């Protein structure tokens, strides 16, 4: 089953800010695209679970908090933050 992935406005704004300030914009773009691809297929198995229905997925240099709405076949990305790779 395929899930639709929707980014909340706040998450989109966070991603835009991260991209604007990034030294490697290509890496940010690639990570965001990979996050979308991973969450479209079996999102409940992606990342790590958190309290309630929340999950966290890290795809460097990004980390997202999201929730899965199984009955509606939707994923909502709630927030995103920049997580630089460790040297």
In angstroms, rounded to a whole number, what is the distance separating the alpha carbons of residues 35 and 22? Answer: 18
pLDDT (mean) for 45-55: 92
Tell me what pLDDT residue 17 has: 98
Tell me what pLDDT residue 16 has: 98
pTM summary value: 0.93
Cα→Cα distances 45→18, 49, 76, Å: 26, 9, 15
The residues spanned by each domain of the chain are 4-82
The CATH homologous superfamily for domain 4-82 is RelE-like (3.30.2310.20)
């Amino acid at each position: 089953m395929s899930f639709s992935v929707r980014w909340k406005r706040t998450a989109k704004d966070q991603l835009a800010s991260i991209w604007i300030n990034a030294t490697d914009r290509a890496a940010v773009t690639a990570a965001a695209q990979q996050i979308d691809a991973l969450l479209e297929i079996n999102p409940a198995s992606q990342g790590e679970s958190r309290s309630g229905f929340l999950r966290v997925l890290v795809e460097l240099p990004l980390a997202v908090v999201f929730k899965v709405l199984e009955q509606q076949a939707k994923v909502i990305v709630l927030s995103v933050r920049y997580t630089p790779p460790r040297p």
